[in-house]
Structure 1
């Protein structure tokens, strides 16, 4: 299984959301969201808890559109 690299740097301006909150924010499915987030190093995992860096992912999605 591929082990994606996760972000290690967190700034004070970053905003984080749960996967469910991010799904609602971006209006995309869970698998698509996690795929895009992991490819762009926007995932934070603490134990079983997963958080998405909304600030960084929003910039990435805007570049794609």
Structure 2
């Protein structure tokens, strides 16, 4: 009978200690419930050039051989 009471008292002390630690850390801001903001990545635009005709290897590429994107 006495062992049962000791077990109950130890369990109550443990539960109260965990609850106290939880509320203490929460009040200090260490347990934040709000997610932190993630920065949005910078979008990079790259100009793409396409050939308007077949170009053989070794051929110099000029503006005449490129496709007009407009």
TM-score per shorter chain, which class?
under 0.3
Question: Which protein has the bigger strand share?
Answer: 1
Q: TM-score, normalised by structure 2?
A: 0.21
